[in-house]
Amino acid sequence: RAAAPQQEVASVCPYCGVGCQVGFRTRDGMIEEVVGRDGPANLGRLCVKGRFGFDYLRHPDRLTRPLIRIAGAAKDPADCLDPKRARQKFRDASWEEALTLAAGGLVRIRDGVGPQALAGFGSAKGSNEEAYLFQKLVRTGFGTNNVDHCTRLCHAASVAALFETVGSGAVTAPFTAAAEADLLLVIGAQPTQNHPVAATFLKDAATRGAKLVVMDPRGTGLDRFATEVVRFRPGQDVALLNAMLHVILAEGLHDADFVASRVDGLEALRAHLAPYAPEAVEARCGVSANQIRRVARLYATARAALTLWGMGVSQSVHGTENARALIALSLLCGHVGRPGTGLHPLRGQNNVQGASDAGLIPMMLPDYHRTGDATYRAFLEELWGTPLDHKPGLTVVEILHAAERGEIRGMYIMGENPAMSDPDLAHARAGLAKLDHLVVQDLFLTETAALADVILPATAWPEKDGTVTNTNRQVQIGRRAVAPPGEVRQDLDIVVAMARGLGLDWRYGHAREVFAEMAQAMPSLANITWDRLEREDSVTYPCPAPDAPGEEIVFHDHFPLPGGRAHLVPAGPGDPGELPDRDFPFVLTTGRELEHWHTGAMTRRARVLDALQPAPTVSLAPTALRRLGVAPGALLRVTTRRGAVDLTAREDPALPDGVAFIPFAYTEAAANLLTRAALDPFGKIPDFKHSAARIEPA
């Protein structure tokens, strides 16, 4: 028989927030290769995950039918480490039996204990339509606002600061604005690892002559393109940024016209900055006063500066303070609202922007209307035909703490893996194990699914139609390229079936119907329709007309705040909560690495990616390894006040002595057994970047 012809289906990469457009080349129902398409965020480029990260679809571990916990099989957090042992505690079930049990358990808790005993985690790996339906299900079917997703572990602090200062949590300009900037400031980010294709645009700009300032405690892949590399002490972002602000104001380098016409709070900020002269903080920051002055002058005197940041800024107990100081720097110098300028928190997951826009957050309804906003709530109650709770719900870490206390009794988790991604995992896993009823919808028997009562097999991204919104506010369409395996159903259909089990009369046939309802609920999607996305693949919001391109750069003449003016918010003091001491002398920082995505469920089952990076490592400076008396490749034990893991030593000259880095993708050495659950008080984001640790040969 002649081989079937290869077909190419246009879609979007489901990994990071860059949102590269891809072509899935398929034959006989399988993806043979993935190519980059000419999307606005990638111009045909892809990184190694987008190129090689899809054969997990047919991995033997893939769930192909629903599973139900066998009666009497105990939930044991140790099962998170042993999928084979976990699997023995489940039996196969029909969809009808699984859905009846899944929804029935949640109904019993809702009606017997109350709606506030329920919670749901949706996913930034799913589509906008799934995120919208999931949060609607929790608010209307459960009757609570206890719904959240991984934005809480990602840029929640940045969003809190952006709302407070400029009135909107999204980026003010795409990263491609780098082409028109004459200075790029990149702080607390490792784009060559975590947003690799975005990094290529930054390198292009630097190569063409834009000045590049890179600020990070660790060295980065951008350093060799940089005009200035500022290696500061971990946790000292606020002191460093305040010192730069101090220099700019003391030397009169700020954009006085911009501030006078568009920004409030100058005098309060000036007073607040008095103790932050560079000489006063240089020892604390580990950066010379000379370099602080030099970098401040570079930034302030640039014609157009684009400011980009990552988790190094946000994942901190003072993440909102960090972001406030950074935003103040940009506002003070008028680097917002013009070509080549802007504020850009690089979004982590491919759809964390869209899932947040769609309302998958506990304190806000779709389009960031607060749950207490009576006018919008009344509009939504009319649209949805159901009364809504006005109280903000609990956030991710708060929900698992409440589960451990026995206050949250039932959960529905779709596409998230908190038994790996939450801080202080011993407690997070204990909270999940204590739930009376846990429904997990996922591709694999993940660490979280190991503690479930019912597991519903989920659809992978190349198996579904849907839209996603990337870090640049580009709404893009993904198309189904292959059929899901076995008895797997579309995620959207599963959420609808769950809603019906909870007593809601939902009838959605396809994602385009959900998108049409979203457009009614979300003015941000004005002039963006499913048909338009089918034709154009990508449209940026806000979009002023059905045939107009979206607005890439916003806030040209006003900010969406009363009076149209932005706010300078003084930041500080910003001290890290857990400092190294004699018993725990290292600072442990955690994050992602190029080859693996978040908790590793997909990429560790992708053959090429697993071959490139097969095992967990702890990276240390050469001097630190010598002090420990070990060579690269030695087995080390890393211990914090929460737990310990054993993993292989890797030498990394980009790390300062005294700082260790562990990626969080590995079950067998889960970095989050070590991290702290302390939260930033505003964004409610935990501190993944600063734990005191002891390191010794294992």
Q: Could you tell me the smallest distance in angstroms from the CB atom of residue 472 to ligand SF4?
A: 11
C-alpha–C-alpha distance, residues 237 and 318, integer Å: 9
Of 50 and 235, which CB lies nearer to ligand SF4 in the complex structure? Answer: 50
Q: Could you tell me the smallest distance in angstroms from the CB atom of residue 621 to ligand SF4?
A: 28
Q: Could you tell me the smallest distance in angstroms from the CB atom of residue 53 to ligand SF4?
A: 7
Contact between residue 311 and residue 689 where contact means Cβ atoms under 8 Å apart:
yes
Q: Could you tell me the smallest distance in angstroms from the CB atom of residue 38 to ligand SF4?
A: 13
The DSSP letter of residue 656 is P
Q: Could you tell me the smallest distance in angstroms from the CB atom of residue 117 to ligand SF4?
A: 38
Q: Could you tell me the smallest distance in angstroms from the CB atom of residue 536 to ligand SF4?
A: 19
Q: Could you tell me the smallest distance in angstroms from the CB atom of residue 59 to ligand SF4?
A: 19
Q: Could you tell me the smallest distance in angstroms from the CB atom of residue 677 to ligand SF4?
A: 28
Of 57 and 630, which CB lies nearer to ligand SF4 in the complex structure? Answer: 57
Q: How many alpha carbons fall within 13 Å on the CB side of residue 346?
A: 29
Q: What is the DSSP string of 372-415?
A: T-HHHHHHHHHHHTS----S----HHHHHHHHHTTS--EEEEES
- Output the six-digit token pair for 58: 């047919």
Of 11 and 441, which CB lies nearer to ligand SF4 in the complex structure? Answer: 11
- Output the six-digit token pair for 8: 């190419």
Q: b/e string for 48-66 if b means 16 or more Cβ within 10 A?
A: bbbbbbbbbbeeeebbebb
The amino acid occupying position 666 is Y
The amino acid occupying position 164 is E
Q: Dihedral of CA 373/347/61/666: which sign?
A: negative
Of 49 and 110, which CB lies nearer to ligand SF4 in the complex structure? Answer: 49
Of 50 and 174, which CB lies nearer to ligand SF4 in the complex structure? Answer: 50
Strand 466-469 to 474-478 pairing: antiparallel
Contact between residue 506 and residue 496 where contact means Cβ atoms under 8 Å apart:
yes
- Output the six-digit token pair for 339: 């070509």
Q: Could you tell me the smallest distance in angstroms from the CB atom of residue 200 to ligand SF4?
A: 9
Of 413 and 601, which CB lies nearer to ligand SF4 in the complex structure? Answer: 601
| Residue with tokens 């260790």, as numbered in its chain | 660
Q: b/e string for 18-41 if b means 16 or more Cβ within 10 A?
A: bbbbbbbbbeeeebeebebbebbb
- Output the six-digit token pair for 33: 């290769």
C-alpha–C-alpha distance, residues 410 and 452, integer Å: 10
Of 55 and 646, which CB lies nearer to ligand SF4 in the complex structure? Answer: 55
Contact between residue 80 and residue 374 where contact means Cβ atoms under 8 Å apart:
no
Q: Could you tell me the smallest distance in angstroms from the CB atom of residue 49 to ligand SF4?
A: 4
Of 235 and 415, which CB lies nearer to ligand SF4 in the complex structure? Answer: 415
Of 606 and 671, which CB lies nearer to ligand SF4 in the complex structure? Answer: 606
Of 16 and 452, which CB lies nearer to ligand SF4 in the complex structure? Answer: 16
Q: Could you tell me the smallest distance in angstroms from the CB atom of residue 99 to ligand SF4?
A: 33
Nearest Cα neighbor of 64 from 629, 483, 591, 680 is: 483
Long-range contacts of 270-276 (CB under 8 A, 24+ apart): 272/242, 272/570, 272/572, 273/242, 273/245, 273/246, 273/249, 273/570, 274/246, 276/239, 276/242, 276/243, 276/245, 276/246
User: Distances from the Cα of 162 to the Cαs of 67, 216, 653, in angstroms?
Assistant: 42, 21, 34
Of 18 and 499, which CB lies nearer to ligand SF4 in the complex structure? Answer: 18
Q: Please, which residues bridge with residue 486 across strands?
A: none
Q: Could you tell me the smallest distance in angstroms from the CB atom of residue 606 to ligand SF4?
A: 12
Of 35 and 81, which CB lies nearer to ligand SF4 in the complex structure? Answer: 35
C-alpha–C-alpha distance, residues 187 and 192, integer Å: 13
Q: b/e string for 550-565 if b means 16 or more Cβ within 10 A?
A: bebbbbeeebebeeeb
Q: Could you tell me the smallest distance in angstroms from the CB atom of residue 31 to ligand SF4?
A: 14
Question: Three-state SS for 12?
Answer: strand
Q: Which residues bind ligand SF4 (CB under 6 A)?
A: 13, 15-16, 18-20, 42, 46-47, 49-50, 195-197
Q: Could you tell me the smallest distance in angstroms from the CB atom of residue 127 to ligand SF4?
A: 15
Of 200 and 448, which CB lies nearer to ligand SF4 in the complex structure? Answer: 200
Residue 211 parent element (H or E): strand 211-215
User: Distances from the Cα of 112 to the Cαs of 116, 136, 177, 624, in angstroms?
Assistant: 11, 21, 54, 56
**Going by C-beta distance under 8 Å and a sequence separation of 6 or more, which residues neighbour residue 370?**
363, 364, 392
Contact between residue 180 and residue 304 where contact means Cβ atoms under 8 Å apart:
yes
Task: Provide the 10 A C-beta neighbour count for residue 697.
Answer: 12
**Going by C-beta distance under 8 Å and a sequence separation of 6 or more, which residues neighbour residue 385?**
none
The residue whose Cβ lies closest to ligand SF4 is 50
Of 197 and 502, which CB lies nearer to ligand SF4 in the complex structure? Answer: 197
Q: Could you tell me the smallest distance in angstroms from the CB atom of residue 479 to ligand SF4?
A: 16
Of 169 and 196, which CB lies nearer to ligand SF4 in the complex structure? Answer: 196
Reply yes or no: is the peptide bond before residue 542 cis, omega within 30 of 0. yes
Of 18 and 571, which CB lies nearer to ligand SF4 in the complex structure? Answer: 18
Q: Could you tell me the smallest distance in angstroms from the CB atom of residue 469 to ligand SF4?
A: 13
C-alpha–C-alpha distance, residues 483 and 487, integer Å: 11
Of 291 and 470, which CB lies nearer to ligand SF4 in the complex structure? Answer: 470
Q: Could you tell me the smallest distance in angstroms from the CB atom of residue 41 to ligand SF4?
A: 8
Q: Please, which residues bridge with residue 650 across strands?
A: 619
Q: Could you tell me the smallest distance in angstroms from the CB atom of residue 34 to ligand SF4?
A: 9
Of 19 and 169, which CB lies nearer to ligand SF4 in the complex structure? Answer: 19
The amino acid occupying position 473 is R
